[in-house]
Amino acid sequence: MTTPESSTQAIPETGNVPRHLAIIMDGNGRWAKKRFLPRVAGHRRGVEAVRGVVKACMARGVGALTLFAFSSENWRRPKEEVTFLMQLFLKALEQEVEKLHGNGIRFRVIGDLSAFEPVIVEHIRRAEALTAANDRLVLTVAANYGGRWDILQAANRCREESPGAEITEERLSRHLCLNYATEPDLFIRTGGEERISNFLLWHLAYTELYFTPVLWPDFDEGALDEAIASYRSRERRFGRTSEQLAATLPQPRAG
Ligand code: IPE
Ligand code: IPE
Ligand code: MG
């Protein structure tokens, strides 16, 4: 398998629509609290928002969508909430995978799956196998994922592969969980916090960051379009100057 280009080793192609969109879906708890509902009601509504965003991404030609569903630090939450989230994940796997497959979506899960119940892991593996040949959109769910964990597991795999050999960027990125996708062009975090919370630490090197106060259950097509419009308005320089960029763009014809 060839590893997609690296933003620090080459200048990636960019377009009007992000090829890869990565989202921290935050604000479910606050959405529920505002309505005097239990936090878990927000998580339930969050799944509906996922459905809408997946559909909207397909319609806009986004090639890869990566969603942060559960961080390696989310185990610190109250036990009842963690249990609910696991049940919700299982239910979503049971109910949504056929639909994803029918829509030509390739489904992947990244994260340390060793902490999950075997029944969940089984559903994940089955869904990944079923949808492996699809190519309309690759939908990745990050579950028990941590950016530091990802870098460390990749480094350890490099060492096992050839102990003593130098670990290069190219070798390391081949072992990172998202080795099948380009680096995200656009990162969105809903819910108003402006932090990365141990999401894709390696991959966000040159990603455009977008933070919105919209709570995840309220994040709809319109909110996605606002994020994409912001992305379009940015000048992605990858270390170069504005003048250099202008020189590489097609010049308007005189007359
Ligand atoms: C994000 O919403 C969902 C998960 C982390 C699983 P939160 O549950 O973090 O919602 P807030 O941040 O408390 O509002
Ligand atoms: C980040 O949200 C993780 C997910 C959305 C899955 P958190 O709500 O856990 O992040 P912090 O704790 O506010 O940084
Ligand atoms: Mg949160």
Is 20-248 CATH 3.40.1180.10? yes
Q: Give the pLDDT confidence score for residue 134 in this predicted structure.
A: 98
pLDDT value of residue 240: 94
- Picking from 145, 181, 235, the residue whose alpha carbon sits closest to that of residue 21 is 181
Q: Which tokens belong to 114? A: 């060793």
Nearest atom in ligand 2 to 77's CA: 9
Determine the Cα–Cα distance for residues 32 and 58; give it in Å rounded to an integer.
28
What pLDDT does residue 252 have? 67
Residue 26 annotated as catalytic: yes
Task: Respond yes or no: is residue 74 known to be catalytic.
Answer: yes
pLDDT of residue 251: 65
Cα 26 to ligand 2 centre (Å): 6
Whether ligand 1 lies within 6 angstroms of the CB of 74 is answered as yes
Cα–Cα nearest to 217, from 95, 70, 53: 53
Question: Between the CA of residue 164 and those of 128, 154, 157, 167, 181, what are the distances in Å?
Answer: 34, 15, 12, 9, 28
In the reported structure, the alpha carbon of residue 80 is separated from the centroid of ligand 1 by a whole-number distance in angstroms of 14
- Whole-angstrom Cα distance, residue 57 to residue 99? 15
Ligand 1 pocket check for 18: Cβ under 6 Å: no
Regions of the chain short of the pLDDT cut 50 = 1
Nearest atom in ligand 2 to 29's CA:
8
Please name the residue whose Cα sits nearest to atom 11 of ligand 2.
197
Angle, alpha carbons 218-45-66 (nearest 5°): 75
Q: Give me ligand 1 centre to Cα 202, in Å.
A: 23
Q: 66 exposed, middle or buried (CB, 10 Å; 0-12, 13-18, 19+)?
A: buried
Strands 137-145 and 105-110: parallel
Q: Supply the pLDDT for residue 5.
A: 83
